[in-house]
Every structure is written in C-alpha cells, then in structure tokens.
Amino acid sequence: MNLKIKYYLELIRVKNCLTASFGTIIGGLIASNFNFGLIGYILLASLIVFLVCGFGNALNDIQDIEIDKINKPNRPLPSNKISLKSATIFSYLLMISGIIISLFNMICFAIALINSIVLYLYAKKYKRNKIIGNLIVAYLTGSIFIFGGASVGNVEITLILFLCALFATWSREIIKDYEDLDGDKSEGVISLPIKYGKNSIFVAIGFLLCSILLSPLPYILGMFGAPYLMAIMICNVLFILAVLKLLKNPSKEIAGSSSKYIKIIMNLVLLSFVIGSLM
Amino acid sequence: MNLKIKYYLELIRVKNCLTASFGTIIGGLIASNFNFGLIGYILLASLIVFLVCGFGNALNDIQDIEIDKINKPNRPLPSNKISLKSATIFSYLLMISGIIISLFNMICFAIALINSIVLYLYAKKYKRNKIIGNLIVAYLTGSIFIFGGASVGNVEITLILFLCALFATWSREIIKDYEDLDGDKSEGVISLPIKYGKNSIFVAIGFLLCSILLSPLPYILGMFGAPYLMAIMICNVLFILAVLKLLKNPSKEIAGSSSKYIKIIMNLVLLSFVIGSLM
C-alpha cells in the first residue's frame, strides 16, 4: 500500500507540486505583508494549487503513456505500476477536489477552474506546440502568485508579480527552446526557434524587457519602499547582462547558461518582493 | 413582438456586440492572410463572440437593475420592458449557445468558456473594483483577436495582436479612470487613480510601453514586411506623443483627450496589422 502511494506521488510529480504550493504561500505572505493571522487561507490556497498542479502533471503522463513506454519506461504508467484507468480517475479527483475547496473564495474558484481548463488544453494539445505552450507555462507560473494574493483578499501586488513572472518565464521558455532546438525538431515539436530561428531571441528579449519595465511599479505606486527598488534594480541589471551576453553570442550553449541564469534571477526577483513586503 | 426584439437588442447592447464581432472578423482575416475561403469559420467565430458578449452585457444590466432604476430608468430592465426572469434566462441561453457552437474548435471552446467565467466575475464583482476590472476589460478586448485567429487555425500573429491590444486597452482604461476620478469616488468605486493618485499615470505609461515594445515582433519574426513596420512605427510615435502630452500636464482634461486619442491610435494599430497581412 505504501508503495502505491509512492507511485501516485511520482505520477503527480510531487516536488513540482510542492514548488508551486510554495510559490502560492510566498504570494499570500507578500500580499498580506507577512500577516501570519491569515496563514490558514494561504495554506488552503496552497493545497488547491498542489491538487490542481497534480492534476495537470498526471494528465500529462496519461497523455504521454505511449511515448513514455520508449522514453521513460520507469514512470508509473508505462511500467504498469498504476493502471491507466486508476490514474485517470485519480487525476480528475484531484482537479474536482481542488475546485470544490476553492469555493471559499470567488477569485480562487475562477482561477482554479480556468487553470484546470488550461492544463487540460496543454496536456492534450499544446505540449507539442511550444509557441502556445510557452504562454501557457508562463501564465500558469504567474497565476500561482495571484492565487496566494486572492486567498488573503489582496491581489494588487500579486498582479504585478504575476505580470513580471509571466513575462520572465515566457522569455526563459523561449530561450530554453532555443537550446533544445535539435531535440525538439527530431521529435516533431513546434517551437518559436524552430519556426523563426535566431530572431526568436528578440521575442525573448522583448518579453524580458516587459518584465523589467513593469518591475518598478510597486515602488512607483508606494506599495513598497526604497529597499525593494534597490533589490529589483539589481535584478534588472542582472537580467540585462544575461540578455546582452546572449545577444553577443546567440549560441545554444549560451542559451543554456542564460536560461539557468535567468531562473536564478527570477528567484531573486521573488526575494525582492519579499524584501519589499517586509521592509 | 418586434418591439420585444428591440428591447432585447438594447439589453445586450447590440452595437457593442457587433464591434466585438467585427474585431473577431478582422483577427481571423489577418491570421488567414485575407483568405476568404476560410470566411465560414471566421463568421462562426464572430457569431460566438456576439453571443458571449451579449451574455456579458445582459448580465451587467441584470446586476445593475437597482442602480439603473435611478441612473438609467429607460433601460429595458428598470423600465420593466423585459422581466428580470426573462433577461436572466435569455442571457444564460446566449452564453450556452455560444459555448456549444464553439465546440467546433478546441481553442475557441476554451476561450468562450474562460471568457464567460471572466464576464460573470466582472458583472458580479469587478465592475466596482476597476483595478481588477481594467485588466478584465483589457483581456477581453485582446481575446477577441485570438478568437478570430484560432477559428482559422493560426493564433500566432493574433497572439501578438492580443498582447498589444491588452496592454494598450489596459493603459487607456487607467487613463479613463483618471478622467473619471471624481465620479467614481462619489459612487464608491475603487480605481487605480483613486487609490494611487497621479502615480497611476506611470502604470498606464508602463503598459503602453509594453505594447509599443512588442509591436515590432511581427516584422522581426518575418510574418509581416516593411509596410507593417513603417505603419506600426508611426502608431508608436503617436502613442509616445500622447504619453508625453499627459506627462507634461497630468490633468483630467488632458487625460480625457489622451484616452480618445489612444483609442484612435489603437484603431490605426489594427489597420497596421491589416496592412501587414495584405502587403
């Protein structure tokens, strides 16, 4: 029995779900100025994110069962550790329970419902068309923060965090696609770099500039003070350095290191929001 | 009987629905390079947009029935030309028929479903909280174009149009709120300018800059040629002039003229996309 649980945790990619839940908690804490009196709502929101995220991940494995028989034969589904029927029922149970719990808050309910639809579309269709898939991943990543903010009744600051995260993630996904160009091509996947070559780097840069452009808004609106502005400006300088490096030498290797570098800076951006909320 | 139809057309704000449908047709034509062989799908998509838009508008009147008894007593609901029950049934019939028709295309179905949820949220809650309401209006405006693109199986170019329209509309809505500051205050509505004063102008400018920044992408990606680039650059110069004028003198009067001016430029941006698609 314990082994079965392990397989189900593997199916939903529990680490990935926990990361998303953690993002929701951070979003909720930022939006409530670290008012731990509201932690109950925030934890409820992070549970919903865990469930809906688990639904999406399980659905992806269900969709990929045939490909995984060759590529990842040890995953719970192709190795028959979990039957396809059980996995399907389980994944929809996760989604339904997530949506039911979200009824405590209208925005959370709407986002849980919309994200479930989007995750379904992603698994069924857009994982193999990364041009749209990238936007979906970016939207889902950003929405985690709004979800936390909504649970404590303050979406404003998380709305800016949502936009910054959306554009930075979108940018990073395109740069990752540039790195994975050959692999994607051989698998028949469509991506921006496959279709538009090196010019897709400019799209990634455009999105990153949008993220940079919107990042001072919490300071301009007086939500956060000078410590935030200083922290976020350091992040923006680092972003620009990453972009310049990639522009100078748009090779797959640099794309790979840039994408890792951007991921680190994105975590620093999140830290800047925490600093802004605390100081 | 004919009179009844007139009242129902008034309830759904038929002109507004037709404008949205027209946007879908333009989006579809741009995405199909004016391939009139696909006009059937495009017209179907524009019908769905008409129905879902009508649902949203009717729902707004249903929600506002008490306020309209004082402010707009001649509207179909407060004047009892249509009963509340009939209006409610009618509006949900519009939504359901729109969603059912959209089943011909998975993306159209997802967008119709998501937009119905968003329109419901808007009518019930966010019309009076314009900070979120502005984003909803901006998203809905932009989504019209993707809807047209999706109906002909090419969302890529309309995705850029979606982002440009979203940010330009969001910017314009904030500037409009700045103009309507006193009226909104007296009605107890929340808006960015009410909460953050003149600094909200910087948010509007930030969003407009995002729109400007993303606008050359169709040229950079080789979707459109030099005529598009020239047309869109003229639009961007006009946008910047509008912003500079507002920055120089951020008064309510200038906000009013800027918002009208931005609306005209937004139509020129749409025209630039048409030029790009045709030339």
* Cα A1 from chain centroid (whole Å): 32
User: B268 and B235 in contact (C-beta within 8 Å)?
Assistant: yes
- Max intra-chain CA distance, chain B: 55
* CA B159/CA B170 separation, integer angstroms: 16
Is the confidence at residue A2, as pLDDT, over 80? no
Task: Please provide the average confidence, as pLDDT, over all residues in chain B.
Answer: 92
Q: How many CB pairs below 8 A link A and B? A: 69
Task: Please indicate, yes or no, if residue A61 is contained in any of the structural domains.
Answer: yes
User: A136 and A122 in contact (C-beta within 8 Å)?
Assistant: yes
* CA A115/CA A49 separation, integer angstroms: 10
Helix (H) or strand (E) run with residue B154 in it: none
Both A112 and A219 in a single domain? Answer: no
Both B14 and B139 in a single domain? Answer: yes
- As for the ipTM of the complex, it is 0.81
Task: Please provide the average confidence, as pLDDT, over all residues in chain A.
Answer: 92
Q: Locate B109 and state its tokens.
A: 């179905």
Chain B: closest CA distance from residue A88 (Å):
21
**pLDDT value at position B235?**
93
Confidence of residue A204 (pLDDT cuts 50, 70, 90): very high
Average pLDDT over residues A204-228: 91
> Of all residues in chain B, what percent carry a pLDDT higher than 90?
68
Task: Please indicate, yes or no, if residue A136 is contained in any of the structural domains.
Answer: no
Average pLDDT over residues B78-85: 92
Instruction: Determine phi and psi for B96, rounding to 5 degrees.
Output: -65, -40
Q: What is the CATH number of the domain that holds B189?
A: 1.20.120
Tell me how many degrees the CA angle A77-A47-A143 measures, rounded to the nearest 5: 90
Instruction: Determine phi and psi for B129, rounding to 5 degrees.
Output: -120, 90
Residue B247 contacts A, CB cutoff 8 Å:
no
**pLDDT value at position B127?**
86
Tens-place pLDDT, residues A65-80: 988 888 888 899 999 9
**pLDDT value at position A125?**
86
Chain B positions in Cβ-Cβ contact with residue A206 (cut-off 8 Å)? 213-214, 217
Domain count, chain A: 2
Both A38 and A77 in a single domain? Answer: yes
Tens-place pLDDT, residues B122-139: 998 888 899 999 999 999
Both B2 and B119 in a single domain? Answer: yes
Length of chain A: 279
Length of chain B: 279
Residue A113 has its nearest CB partner, among B106, B117, B214, at: B117
Of A124-128, A173-177, B87-91, the range with the lowest mean pLDDT is A124-128
Both B127 and B2 in a single domain? Answer: yes
* CA A128/CA A130 separation, integer angstroms: 6
In angstroms, how far is the first alpha carbon of chain A from the final one?
48
Contact B135 A159 (CB under 8 A): yes
Contact A206 B217 (CB under 8 A): yes
Both B91 and B225 in a single domain? Answer: no
User: B176 and B259 in contact (C-beta within 8 Å)?
Assistant: yes
Confidence of residue B89 (pLDDT cuts 50, 70, 90): very high
* CA B59/CA B136 separation, integer angstroms: 15
Instruction: Determine phi and psi for A190, rounding to 5 degrees.
Output: -100, 135
Tens-place pLDDT, residues A19-40: 999 999 999 999 998 888 899 9
Tell me how many degrees the CA angle B157-B161-B167 measures, rounded to the nearest 5: 150
Residue that terminates a domain, selected from A88, A111, A126: A126
Confidence of residue B68 (pLDDT cuts 50, 70, 90): confident
Confidence of residue B36 (pLDDT cuts 50, 70, 90): confident
* CA A236/CA B195 separation, integer angstroms: 27
Q: Locate B210 and state its tokens.
A: 């995002």
**pLDDT value at position A72?**
87
Give the range of the structural domain holding residue A223, as residue numbers without chain letter: 155-279
Average pLDDT over residues B6-22: 94
Distances from the Cα of B84 to the Cαs of A133, B58, B64, B121, in angstroms?
42, 10, 11, 19
Residue A202 contacts B, CB cutoff 8 Å:
yes
User: B228 and B273 in contact (C-beta within 8 Å)?
Assistant: yes
Is the confidence at residue A1, as pLDDT, over 60? no
Confidence of residue A234 (pLDDT cuts 50, 70, 90): very high
Both B256 and B164 in a single domain? Answer: yes
Contact A110 B132 (CB under 8 A): no
Average pLDDT over residues A29-53: 93
> Of all residues in chain A, what percent carry a pLDDT higher than 90?
67
User: B150 and B163 in contact (C-beta within 8 Å)?
Assistant: no
Tens-place pLDDT, residues B178-214: 998 888 888 889 999 999 988 999 999 999 999 999 9
Average pLDDT over residues A34-63: 94
Q: What is the CATH number of the domain that holds B148?
A: 1.10.357.140
Is the confidence at residue B1, as pLDDT, over 60? no
Both B73 and B136 in a single domain? Answer: yes
Confidence of residue A223 (pLDDT cuts 50, 70, 90): confident
Both A173 and A275 in a single domain? Answer: yes
The one-letter amino acid code at A88 reads T
User: B44 and B113 in contact (C-beta within 8 Å)?
Assistant: no
* CA B219/CA B93 separation, integer angstroms: 42
Q: What is the CATH number of the domain that holds A121?
A: 1.10.357
Is the confidence at residue B168, as pLDDT, over 80? yes
**pLDDT value at position B274?**
87
User: A248 and A168 in contact (C-beta within 8 Å)?
Assistant: no
Both A23 and A98 in a single domain? Answer: yes
Residue that terminates a domain, selected from B114, B133, B154: B154
Confidence of residue B69 (pLDDT cuts 50, 70, 90): confident
**pLDDT value at position A67?**
85
* CA B192/CA A222 separation, integer angstroms: 12
Is the confidence at residue B30, as pLDDT, over 80? yes
A190 bridge partner residues: A129
Residue that terminates a domain, selected from A126, A143, A165: A126
Contact A221 B199 (CB under 8 A): yes
Chain B: closest CA distance from residue A74 (Å):
32
Is the confidence at residue B77, as pLDDT, over 60? yes
Residue A197 contacts B, CB cutoff 8 Å:
no
Is the confidence at residue B246, as pLDDT, over 70? yes
Both A115 and A58 in a single domain? Answer: yes
Chain B positions in Cβ-Cβ contact with residue A214 (cut-off 8 Å)? 206-207, 210
How many CB atoms lie under 10 A from the CB of residue A200? Answer: 24
Chain A positions in Cβ-Cβ contact with residue B170 (cut-off 8 Å)? none
Chain B: closest CA distance from residue A221 (Å):
6
Confidence of residue B142 (pLDDT cuts 50, 70, 90): very high
Average pLDDT over residues A121-139: 92
* CA B141/CA B20 separation, integer angstroms: 8
B129 bridge partner residues: B190
Both B122 and B175 in a single domain? Answer: no
* CA B75/CA B211 separation, integer angstroms: 36
